[in-house]
């Protein structure tokens, strides 16, 4: 298994640089939040994953029109997290 807490630490460092260097709704910031969501999902923190996905989705909504391929990854992660949460609640 990967070292997801360590990965999250580096994603956070990267994100802080992006926040300084990029406009507030830059697509790279959405990608950072998708990376956070992936780590949280792998660590079993599904609520944190959903929060990160919501943030990514909000950025994407401001930057792209509905149907843009940028949404595909976000929708896929939403599906994955909700599916896992559903299985665990059974």
pLDDT digits (tens, 9 = 90+) for 4-61: 999 999 999 999 999 999 999 999 999 999 999 999 999 999 999 999 999 999 999 9
| 52-81 mean pLDDT | 94
Residue 89 predicted with pLDDT over 90: no
User: Where is 82: in which H helix or E strand?
Assistant: helix 70-88
Residue 81 lies in a domain: no
Residue 43 lies in a domain: yes
Show the domain range for 40: 28-63
Residue 22 lies in a domain: no
Residue 50 lies in a domain: yes
pTM of the model: 0.89
Looking at per-residue confidence, does 87 or 74 come out higher? 74
Model pLDDT, residue 88: 74
Residue 2 lies in a domain: no
Number of compact structural domains in the chain: 1
Residue 42 lies in a domain: yes
Residue 73 lies in a domain: no
Residue 7 lies in a domain: no
């Amino acid at each position: 298994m990967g070292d997801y807490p360590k990965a999250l630490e580096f994603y956070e460092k990267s994100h802080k640089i992006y926040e300084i260097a990029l406009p507030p709704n830059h697509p790279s910031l959405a990608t950072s939040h998708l990376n956070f969501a992936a780590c949280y999902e792998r660590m079993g923190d599904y609520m944190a994953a959903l929060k990160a996905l919501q943030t990514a989705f909000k950025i994407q909504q401001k930057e792209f029109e509905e149907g843009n391929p940028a949404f595909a990854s976000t929708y896929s992660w939403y599906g994955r997290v909700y599916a896992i949460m559903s299985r665990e609640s059974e």
